[in-house]
A and B are shown apart, each in its own frame.
Chain A
Amino acid sequence: MADLKIGVLSCSGEECLGGTISRLATRKMLEELRPGQTVTLCLPLYLAGGEEERFFAKAFPVITVDGCSKCCAKRATEKYSGKVSDIVDVSEILGNDVALDKTVSTKDMTSQHMEMVDKVAKVICEKFDKIAENK
């Protein structure tokens, strides 16, 4: 299990707050919560990249982290790479109004925004650990 890597792939959507939260929660997994065990991929590389990128969901169990209910990260992963192991939808955790609120720059993040990131990261962690336990 120590060598197990799990993919956490965010939509990083630019049009709403949920996209920023999805991105920062994924960064938190990489840097603080599960460093060394978390791997990620830039979502648009599925089309702009090559075979290596499209092999991502076959090579790793993947949790997609989407900012809104359109679930682009999940849909793109399943369209181009393979079935995902679990999904996190920010709008389900924080509510649709919050997720679809105006996007913010990282320089304008408030303590309230950071709490949202922590809340979403906690859900990712729970799903991450469940996948790791079953491997």
Chain B
Amino acid sequence: MSKVKVIPCSGIGKVFGLMARESALKVTNELKPNETETVCLAHIVTGDEDSKSKIEGFPCITIDGCPKLCAAKNAELAGGIVKMQYRTVDEMRNHRGVDAGTATALTPDGWKVVDELCEKICEKVDDILKEEK
């Protein structure tokens, strides 16, 4: 069975991009390493055939930092089947007033928000894999 691709935007200007990146790394490296993998978004952006073949026709979960939805749009353009789009900016709406950190480093509160999002992503991964069976 193919692994679910978890693709973050890794936006560099604001904390939301780092939250997206860290969520993807945690899911793919720690929580679901056998069921998920990530793909360099920069490689997808170049239109490279290698990266296209990694995601074309495969289920993807995208994690974006802002409403521009770079990860979701680029994954779709490359032929990925985007089963779920998350936005870290939306996750922060449940944590109003919390200082999550910067685009360089997260605060402990920022990590808590990432951990919550990772739980949701893992549930979605399980759902997708059930559908695929």
User: Total A-B pairs in contact (CB under 8 Å)?
Assistant: 108
Which residues of chain B (98-113) have a CB below 8 Å from chain A? 102-106, 111
Any A CB within 8 A of the CB of B10: yes
A59 CB to closest chain B CB (Å) equals 16
Q: Do B40 and A19 touch across chains, with their CB atoms under 8 A apart?
A: yes
* Distance A25 CA – B36 CA, assembled complex (angstroms): 28
Contact partner of A45 (CB less than 8 A), chosen from B8, B70, B105, is B70
Q: Do B43 and A48 touch across chains, with their CB atoms under 8 A apart?
A: no
With A14-B38, A15-B40 given, is the CB distance from A42 to B46 under 8 Å?
A: no
B: contact size bracket = 35 or more
With A44-B70, A105-B26, A106-B106 given, is the CB distance from A11 to B40 under 8 Å?
A: yes
Chain B residues closer than 8 Å to A33, beta-carbon distance: none
Which residues of chain A (44-82) have a CB below 8 Å from chain B? 44-49, 70, 72-73, 75-76, 79
Contact partner of B45 (CB less than 8 A), chosen from A26, A72, A103, is A72
With A14-B21, A27-B104, A107-B111 given, is the CB distance from A42 to B39 under 8 Å?
A: no
Count how many chain A residues have C-beta atoms less than 8 Å from C-beta atoms of the other chain. 34
- Can you name 19 extra interface pairs (CB under 8 A) apart from A46-B45, A70-B46? A14-B40, A16-B40, A19-B42, A23-B10, A40-B12, A41-B12, A42-B13, A42-B70, A43-B42, A44-B41, A44-B42, A45-B68, A45-B70, A47-B45, A48-B70, A70-B48, A105-B26, A106-B22, A106-B106
